[in-house]
A and B are shown apart, each in its own frame.
Chain A
Amino acid sequence: MSTGNMNLTLKVWRQKNTKAKGGLVDYKLSEISPDMSFLEMFDVLNEQLISKGDEPVVFDHDCREGICGACSMYIDGRPHGPKDRVTTCQLHMRSFKDGDTIVVEPWRAKAFPVIKDLTVDRSAFDRVIAAGGFISVNTGNAQDANNLPIPKVQADSAFEAAACIGCGACVATCKNASAMLFVSAKISQLAQLPQGQPERYRRVQSMVAQMDAEGFGNCTNTGACEAECPKGISLENIARMNRDFYSAKFVSEEDI
């Protein structure tokens, strides 16, 4: 089946369910091609496990082109593995060497409980968005799109914040399991656009409150989130969020 000549040892976190105790299990793989993606290497492992009558490793994945944000492996101590600015599905085996031992764990955070093996529950992110990560405009309410010119620099900056894929690498890598990069990216996107102004201060308060309620930690400015973010979301967003949060608390008439 395989076409390459790499031999690898994997140490993979196996955990039956949320309550069960998990542990690392060793697997040997041979004939791995350097052109395979990391997840395709896991496909090979799973085919072998199923053929032997064992249970395959469960992991989240879907688009396999780096945009859906589903894949989420903690590889050799780094979310999404050794390369910068890529998701696990876009990591290829040419980034490893023949004979390597690779340790693969799930995201670790109180707000992201393990569901099974390498799969975690990231629904906390959805609840943070539901708390305020939107502009309240019902279908049919909109004016002509070009009635509201937005300076390119501002639009581009909003776009950069909007590029977040919601994978949770920022939380996984943070020693405090803080979700501030994720939350601030959405706040910052909308705060930089004129459409986002009416709810600006309400939004930041609601989203931060939900973020706290979910059990994410606080930010202590180590910057690991920015370094590990596959989409390069900037720490500036956190600064922007904090500024808006303080403004909201001190200035805004709407205290939430």
Chain B
Amino acid sequence: MAELNAHIPEGELTEKWTKLRSSMPLVNPANKRSIEVIVVGSGLAGASAAASLAEMGYKVKCFCFQDSPRRAHSIAAQGGINAAKNYQNDGDSTYRLFYDTIKGGDYRAREANVHRLAEVSGNIIDQCVAQGVPLAREYGGLLDNRSFGGTQVQRTFYAAGQTGQQLLLGAYSALERQIGMGKVEMFTRHEMLEVVVVDGKARGIIARNLLTGELERHSGHAVLLCSGGYGNVFYLSTNAMGSNVTAAWKAHKKGAFFGNPCYTQIHPTCIPVSGDHQSKLTLMSESLRNDGRIWVPKKKDDPRKASEIPEDERDYYLERRYPAFGNLVPRDVASRAAKERCDAGYGVGSSKLAVYLDFKANTERYGRIEASVQNIHNPDKETCMRLGREVIKEKYGNLFDMYAQITGEDPYELPMRIYPAVHYTMGGLWVDYNLMTTVPGLYALGEANFSDHGANRLGASALMQGLADGYFVIPYTIGAYLSKELATKPIPQDHPAFVEAEASAKGIIDKFFAIKGTKTVDHFHKKLGKIMWEKCGMARNAKGLTEAIAEIQELRKEFWSDVRVPGEANEFNPELEKAGRVADFIELGELMCIDALNRNESCGGHFREEYQTEEGEAMRDDVNYAYVAAWEYKEGVKFELHKEELKFENIKIAQRSYK
């Protein structure tokens, strides 16, 4: 059994990373040329890691299931990226970003990792700007910032509502540069189906060429999984249709522990579900909470239109409950508050499962400022609204357009209707300080690992973490492992471990076609999603979770006896791809429920109804649950719990308050 050692360097918190980096074993440039690294995934973490490692001289092979690395789902991140630059002179610092992140994560993240993240955050902005990423600027030519939830400083850098796109295209261009120079070999439309472990070390992968169906063997001295999160276990989420857990799950089954699988982020501001046909949910960036005020009618089941409800009959419930942070409370708090109002009968829209996000007040305020800039004295309300609308358009234009497209309503005129939706998974493969999983030589970066966000991720921190891991952490920490691998010759691909891994991948594919069942893959995926959302979603309880586990086990049996996969194995067959992903989601879903049931406390995104304060806030149990739950896979879809105690030496652990 693998030892659970986080390998956190000794010394003062603020010195750990600097010291480690300066004493880390190095690989000399000549040796790097003969060392191969496999990178699975080409989002922010994968593209930045692949590019950086290739720049350093390693031979890199990078894999993505999409037709181009530029399409990885990091591209859809809207709002921004945090960095402790203190450009706004509002008292930000590395320590403050560290503190906000630990607190925002409800004291369930590792201090040392989070501090390192805060330390390198500024470098990320520097790097991206140098690459030509067009972040938003002020008239003086310097970078602009905005606020995000869970903080009281302005540290979020952004590019309109397309920050993820711009950062990813920056990393993608760095990656393409290395591809052009022949230093990265890129495999698009390839999906990893197995990790190959030789003598206890990760030595390669089995990947399926999605166009030809051929199973390919790829060897390397180390394997980096940068394959994103598993929100699609809920079927409906803000993830891309192809986002999946397969790479991480196959690694889990080969010995990599899975950390805190139950920590799921339900994002408060998404476009509500409109019907059974819905295939995905669309986020409206958290940045909108900078300028939008969230409310519901004070009267239950109020049938009036938003515009007909006078100001004093509106309940700005976030401002009421959390006067200090108001609309900028962290996501978990905002989501639960929306659910609470809707469950109590104050929801709006035809489904009554929505609240209003209203921009009127700030549109007028911006208009008044703009009027003053344009020398219009005593502007009337209409002028202010017209001018303000332009300002809002510049800040959030693409988001407003998207909302109008999807709902058919004009958000400049009517308040948006929003409701929480699954967005991000804080859990993931357990990694040590060096980002290595419990399988030597197998690393996990970005959303695929569990490491930095604890039980709740703050807005604009995912982009920061993905790029920190890829640009500034792995290039150093991987040296510690690879420097001991210099004598390792290229791994022969006819090694029994490769043969066995390929046979296992082929076995699963053959099994799918042999079933010849009656139900489509989506049928099972939707069923799984429903169980997860109802019983392992925004609020959980022991009874529901116990039921969910039984239901998922039943669903797994049904899936493996009645799924229908059309077409053939040796061709481009997206239904086959989906079948493999859903099979893994079903197993993961069960583990998420087991983990949620094990954690008898509420923390961050994990809200157990049995554990709440009188005001309905999450109630942690620091005596018994201040640990990372790292699950080991056992034959026959069984799981064994290992615990990594979390030590808080630099932050006083306290009840989170945003009041």
A binding-site residues for B, Cβ under 8 Å: 1-3, 17, 33, 35-37, 39-40, 43-44, 47, 49-51, 53-56, 58, 60-70, 85-86, 90, 92, 94, 115-116, 119, 121-123, 125-126, 129-146, 148-152, 155-156, 158-159, 162-163, 165-166, 189-190, 193, 195-196
Contact in complex: A145, B126 (CB < 8 Å): yes
> Per a CB cutoff under 8 Å, which of A43, A130, A148 touches B176?
A130
The interface bits of chain B over 185-217 (1 if a CB of A lies within 8 angstroms of the residue's CB, else 0) are: 010100000000000000000000001000000
A residues less than 8 Å from B136 (CB atoms)? 155, 159
User: Helix, strand, loop or mixed for chain A's interface?
Assistant: loop
**Best-surrounded residue of A67, A85, A189 (most CB of chain B within 10 A):** A67
Contact in complex: A119, B70 (CB < 8 Å): no
User: Of all chain B residues, which has the CB nearest A68?
Assistant: B71
User: Of all chain B residues, which has the CB nearest A135?
Assistant: B132
Contact in complex: A64, B87 (CB < 8 Å): no
A residues less than 8 Å from B172 (CB atoms)? 129
> Per a CB cutoff under 8 Å, which of A61, A69, A139 touches B51?
A139
Given A50-B520, A142-B126, A121 and B132 contact (CB-CB distance below 8 Å):
no
Contact in complex: B66, A62 (CB < 8 Å): yes
Interface assignment of B657: CB less than 8 Å from any CB of chain A: no
Complex Cα gap A159–B134 (Å): 5
Contact in complex: B475, A139 (CB < 8 Å): yes
Contact in complex: B574, A145 (CB < 8 Å): no
Contact in complex: A123, B277 (CB < 8 Å): no
Complex Cα gap A116–B574 (Å): 11
Minimum CB–CB distance from A118 to chain B (whole Å) comes to: 11
Minimum CB–CB distance from B24 to chain A (whole Å) comes to: 14
> Per a CB cutoff under 8 Å, which of B129, B283, B567 touches A142?
B129
Of the listed stretches B109-117, B162-170, B305-313, B482-490, name the one at the interface; the rest are far from the partner chain.
B162-170
Minimum CB–CB distance from A31 to chain B (whole Å) comes to: 10
Contact in complex: B130, A33 (CB < 8 Å): no
Contact in complex: A152, B141 (CB < 8 Å): yes
How many residues belonging to B are interface residues under a CB distance threshold of 8 Å? Answer: 83
Q: A64-B279, A130-B179, A163-B165 are in contact. List 13 more A-B contacts (CB 8 A).
A: A1-B276, A62-B71, A66-B405, A68-B73, A115-B572, A123-B67, A125-B68, A130-B176, A140-B123, A149-B137, A152-B138, A159-B166, A196-B132
Contact in complex: A119, B169 (CB < 8 Å): no
User: Of all chain A residues, which has the CB nearest B127?
Assistant: A142
Sample of 19 A–B contacts (CB below 8 Å): A40-B279, A55-B567, A58-B574, A63-B241, A64-B240, A66-B405, A67-B162, A92-B408, A94-B408, A122-B67, A129-B70, A130-B177, A132-B180, A137-B130, A137-B131, A140-B471, A142-B130, A155-B134, A156-B137
- Going nearest first, the 5 A-B pairs with the smallest beta carbon separation are A149-B141, A130-B180, A134-B173, A142-B130, A142-B126
Minimum CB–CB distance from B136 to chain A (whole Å) comes to: 8
A residues less than 8 Å from B160 (CB atoms)? 159
A residues less than 8 Å from B137 (CB atoms)? 149-152, 155-156
Minimum CB–CB distance from B159 to chain A (whole Å) comes to: 6
Contact in complex: B279, A145 (CB < 8 Å): no
Contact in complex: A146, B143 (CB < 8 Å): yes
Contact in complex: B69, A126 (CB < 8 Å): yes
Interface assignment of B278: CB less than 8 Å from any CB of chain A: yes
A residues less than 8 Å from B344 (CB atoms)? none
Given A86-B405, A90-B406, A63 and B75 contact (CB-CB distance below 8 Å):
yes
Contact in complex: A3, B277 (CB < 8 Å): yes
Complex Cα gap A152–B137 (Å): 6
Minimum CB–CB distance from B174 to chain A (whole Å) comes to: 6
Complex Cα gap A119–B68 (Å): 13
Complex Cα gap A116–B191 (Å): 18
Count: A-B pairs, CB below 8 Å: 228
Interface assignment of B401: CB less than 8 Å from any CB of chain A: yes
Contact in complex: A166, B68 (CB < 8 Å): yes
B residues less than 8 Å from A148 (CB atoms)? 129
Contact in complex: B475, A62 (CB < 8 Å): no
Contact in complex: A61, B567 (CB < 8 Å): no
Given A64-B240, A129-B176, A139-B127, A40 and B141 contact (CB-CB distance below 8 Å):
no
Complex Cα gap A36–B279 (Å): 9
Given A35-B275, A39-B279, A63 and B76 contact (CB-CB distance below 8 Å):
yes
A residues less than 8 Å from B48 (CB atoms)? 139
Given A50-B575, A139-B51, A159-B166, A65 and B280 contact (CB-CB distance below 8 Å):
yes
Contact in complex: B87, A146 (CB < 8 Å): yes
Contact in complex: A134, B176 (CB < 8 Å): yes
Complex Cα gap A7–B291 (Å): 41
B residues less than 8 Å from A55 (CB atoms)? 566-567
Interface assignment of B315: CB less than 8 Å from any CB of chain A: no
Minimum CB–CB distance from B495 to chain A (whole Å) comes to: 31
User: Of all chain B residues, which has the CB nearest A3?
Assistant: B275
B residues less than 8 Å from A125 (CB atoms)? 68
Complex Cα gap A129–B135 (Å): 20
Complex Cα gap A21–B216 (Å): 29
A residues less than 8 Å from B76 (CB atoms)? 63, 65, 67-68
> Per a CB cutoff under 8 Å, which of B55, B132, B277, B522 touches A195?
B132
Contact in complex: B73, A149 (CB < 8 Å): no
User: Of all chain B residues, which has the CB nearest A145?
Assistant: B129
Minimum CB–CB distance from B655 to chain A (whole Å) comes to: 37
Interface assignment of B247: CB less than 8 Å from any CB of chain A: no
Interface assignment of B616: CB less than 8 Å from any CB of chain A: no
Minimum CB–CB distance from A39 to chain B (whole Å) comes to: 7
Contact in complex: A162, B176 (CB < 8 Å): no
Complex Cα gap A43–B275 (Å): 14
Interface assignment of B91: CB less than 8 Å from any CB of chain A: no
The interface bits of chain B over 56-95 (1 if a CB of A lies within 8 angstroms of the residue's CB, else 0) are: 0000000000111111010110000000010100000000
> Per a CB cutoff under 8 Å, which of A66, A69, A136, A152 touches B177?
A136
Complex Cα gap A43–B68 (Å): 23
Minimum CB–CB distance from A37 to chain B (whole Å) comes to: 7
Complex Cα gap A196–B574 (Å): 40
> Per a CB cutoff under 8 Å, which of B128, B135, B405, B572 touches A58?
B572
User: Of all chain B residues, which has the CB nearest A190?
Assistant: B132
User: Of all chain B residues, which has the CB nearest A196?
Assistant: B132
Complex Cα gap A162–B190 (Å): 27
Contact in complex: A50, B564 (CB < 8 Å): yes
Interface assignment of B142: CB less than 8 Å from any CB of chain A: yes
A residues less than 8 Å from B131 (CB atoms)? 134-135, 137, 195
Minimum CB–CB distance from B167 to chain A (whole Å) comes to: 11
Minimum CB–CB distance from B520 to chain A (whole Å) comes to: 5
Contact in complex: A122, B68 (CB < 8 Å): yes
Contact in complex: A135, B130 (CB < 8 Å): yes
B residues less than 8 Å from A90 (CB atoms)? 402, 405-406
A residues less than 8 Å from B475 (CB atoms)? 139
Contact in complex: B141, A151 (CB < 8 Å): yes
> Per a CB cutoff under 8 Å, which of A121, A145, A163, A165 touches B125?
A145
Contact in complex: A40, B277 (CB < 8 Å): yes
Contact in complex: B67, A135 (CB < 8 Å): no
B residues less than 8 Å from A56 (CB atoms)? 566, 574-575
**Best-surrounded residue of B123, B174, B405, B566 (most CB of chain A within 10 A):** B405
B residues less than 8 Å from A60 (CB atoms)? 67
Complex Cα gap A163–B159 (Å): 10
Complex Cα gap A127–B338 (Å): 47
Minimum CB–CB distance from B17 to chain A (whole Å) comes to: 15
Complex Cα gap A31–B211 (Å): 33
Interface assignment of B349: CB less than 8 Å from any CB of chain A: no
Interface assignment of B29: CB less than 8 Å from any CB of chain A: no
Complex Cα gap A133–B471 (Å): 20
B residues less than 8 Å from A40 (CB atoms)? 277-279
Given A67-B76, A119-B572, A150 and B55 contact (CB-CB distance below 8 Å):
no
Interface assignment of B11: CB less than 8 Å from any CB of chain A: no
Contact in complex: B75, A139 (CB < 8 Å): no
> Per a CB cutoff under 8 Å, which of A3, A65, A123, A189 touches B134?
A189
B residues less than 8 Å from A189 (CB atoms)? 132, 134
User: Of all chain B residues, which has the CB nearest A125?
Assistant: B68
Minimum CB–CB distance from B238 to chain A (whole Å) comes to: 8
Contact in complex: B279, A37 (CB < 8 Å): yes
